Amino acid sequence: MIYLDNAATSFPKPKRVIDAVTRYLKEIGGNPGRAAHASAREASGLVDRTRRLLASLLGNVDPSRIIFTPSTTVALNLAIKGSLKSGDHVLTTSMEHNSVLRPLNGLVKLGVTHSLIPCSSSGELDPADIPPLIQPQTRLIALVHASNVTGNLMPVGEVGKVARERGILLLLDAAQTMGKISIDPEILFVDLLAGPGHKGLLGPMGTGFLYVRPGLELEPLWEGGTGTHSESIKQPETWPERFESGTCNAPGLAGLAEGIAEVQHLGFEAIATNERRLVEILLDGLSQFPGIILYGPEDRRFCTGTLAFNVQELDCAEVAHILDKVYSIAVRSGLHCAPEAHRTIGTFPHGAVRVSVGPYNTEEEMHTFLKAVSEVLEFRCR
């Protein structure tokens, strides 16, 4: 199989990730923070190591401000619902994932309103469009770092500066960028950052996190056992325990630590260079085929390894099905949980075929993919 769906989850996972999860399940087994015996202590140490590694990736932030969650979606819900109250207003873009749009829609009934910042038909955001949309009640700007449909990067630093100058919080959805590019929340004026463990960081599914800058308080969305302050029925005030009630995915976090180590070994620049080279091969090939419609910005220097296209006269789901069944090539078709993004680029309601490369894809695989698409085009013309 040629796996080209890394925007959904990375595959294959590094051997060191698999070994770490296996070792936890076979040799450690303890519940972190829930006892003083050796296996629980070792479990706690592994979770702490993962937290420190994430803090290091984010420009050496305070590790206690990193909250582990089961996914980016949960992290975004915590950031949005834990920081807003009735009467607040939120700005977000027309390229956002439903992990932002659905929580905002759910808060409308509680008196929280939001507005969409329109992006261009190629999915690009002009920061100059933001100030006119700011209201006196604007509390938060929620911004995707890179589109999960077209791959284009948003001008986070510029948006962050606009927000910081006006006392507005900036929430960054880094689902498509963690592990692919260097991110420093302080430099980018980011107040809250949500990310996954299972995509660019190469870890297992069921792992994610939320970073909250020092001095910013949130309301927890769930409460319960934390392994600390067990004498009280009140939720602890200490970070990160205040937000991590219940048993965490310790085996997954053990694997995530090794995924982060693998990313550090490969290097951000090497990962980005490889992805850009592979996408260039795809774009050069696809642009020469008649009947191919490409989406996203022309300048791919400021994009991740994700691109979207359609084949004229063929449904995107049919194209993906043929690639899977006939050629064993895994891509994703449809709306990619981002209907507003597809409205923006003109592919709603049918969607598009998405190709997303990862650090282990090769040039040979790209040429195999292009040959397969050429044969699909021949099939269309019969």
Q: Using one digit for the tens of pLDDT, what is the confidence trace for 327-349?
A: 999 999 999 999 999 999 999 99
pLDDT the model gives residue 300: 87
Asked if 334 and 343 count as a contact pair (C-beta separation under 8 A), the reply is no
pLDDT the model gives residue 75: 98
pLDDT the model gives residue 208: 98
pLDDT the model gives residue 379: 73
Confidence of residue 186 (pLDDT cuts 50, 70, 90): very high
Paired sense of beta strands 192-196 and 169-173, if any: parallel
Per the prediction, the chain carries an average pLDDT of 96
pLDDT tens column, 313-327: 899 999 999 999 999
Give the CA distances from residue 285 to residues 215, 279, 282, 289, 316, in Å, rounded to whole numbers and listed in that order: 50, 10, 5, 7, 18
Query: Can you tell me which residue has the tokens 């209201």?
Result: 135
Going from the N-terminus, what domains does the chain have, and what CATH number goes with each?
2-9+267-381 (3.90.1150.10), 15-265 (3.40.640.10)
Asked if 207 and 249 count as a contact pair (C-beta separation under 8 A), the reply is yes
Asked if 254 and 42 count as a contact pair (C-beta separation under 8 A), the reply is no
Q: 3-state SS string over 262-295?
A: HHHHHCHHHHHHHHHHHHHHHHHHHCCCCCEEEE
Confidence of residue 298 (pLDDT cuts 50, 70, 90): confident
The whole-model pTM stands at 0.96
Query: Can you tell me which residue has the tokens 């997954």?
Result: 252
Q: Average pLDDT, stretch 275-284? A: 96
pLDDT the model gives residue 205: 98
pLDDT the model gives residue 381: 61
Q: Which amino acid is at 170?
A: L
Query: Could you say which DSSP state residue 71 is in?
Result: S
Q: How far apart are the first and last CA of the chain?
A: 27
Alpha carbon 143 to chain centroid, angstroms? 11
pLDDT tens column, 216-230: 999 999 999 998 889
Q: pLDDT over 90 for what percent of the chain?
A: 95
pLDDT the model gives residue 382: 58
Question: How far apart, in whole angstroms, are the C-alpha atoms of residue 305 and residue 316?
Answer: 19
Question: How far apart, in whole angstroms, are the C-alpha atoms of residue 299 and residue 226?
Answer: 48
Q: Whose CA is closest to 202, among 2, 11, 5, 3?
A: 11
